[in-house]
Amino acid sequence: MILAFDTYYYENKAKTVCLSFEDWNQEDKFEIYTETLFEIEEYVSGEFYKRELPCIISLISKIDLKKVNLIIIDGFVFLNDESKFGLGAYLYHELNKKIPIIGVAKRDFATIEKNRIKLYRGKSENPLFITSIGIELNIASKIIEEMNGKYRIPTLLKEVDRLTKEK
């Protein structure tokens, strides 16, 4: 089983959504988990994980992790080429280094060059930025490249993003 997480913030709330699915090339047939938390930490540049990690951990506690092979997050695993932890690395360690994490970011993070791959999907001239832990970066990038969808953002990742914004 594969899990894809995203969180959307509004006012002092955070809505986290997780899609659970079996195959990379799926475009439907997924299970949805969702949770809204209140009194969320303010965003601090370079410390995004402090805001989002509690949201993911709270929702993930409702899922049987014995069946999970991989997790995709909206964001970075590492923040620089010296392996400074980002959200994905903190999540990986929180889960006792048992489940590989792929980070898929829509915007570049200026201090990371070597530890990420720019992935161009569809006809987009804007890349996705792929980082990973517990799985080789080249394999992680190939997985995201092969996900269903002909546009920049894979179908299921676009769906999890859409669901976070639904009230």
CATH code of the domain in which 43 resides: 3.30.2170.10
Residue 59 predicted with pLDDT over 80: yes
Reported as type and span, the H/E element at residue 33 is strand 31-38
Higher pLDDT, 15 or 110: 15
Residue 28 predicted with pLDDT over 90: no
Across the beta sheet with 70-74, the strand order is 31-38, 13-21, 2-10, 70-74, 101-105, 128-133, 117-119
Residue 110 predicted with pLDDT over 90: no
pLDDT at 139: 97
Which residue range(s) make up the domain with 38? 2-165
pLDDT at 90: 97
Contact 80, 117 (CB under 8 A): no
**pTM of the predicted protein model:** 0.94
Kindly report which listed range (18-27, 66-75, 130-139) carries the lowest average pLDDT score.
18-27
* 46-59 CB burial, b ≥16 within 10 A, e <16: eebbebbbbbbeeb
Question: Confidence band (pLDDT; 50, 70, 90) for 26?
Answer: confident
Number of domains the chain is built from? 1
Average pLDDT, the chain: 92
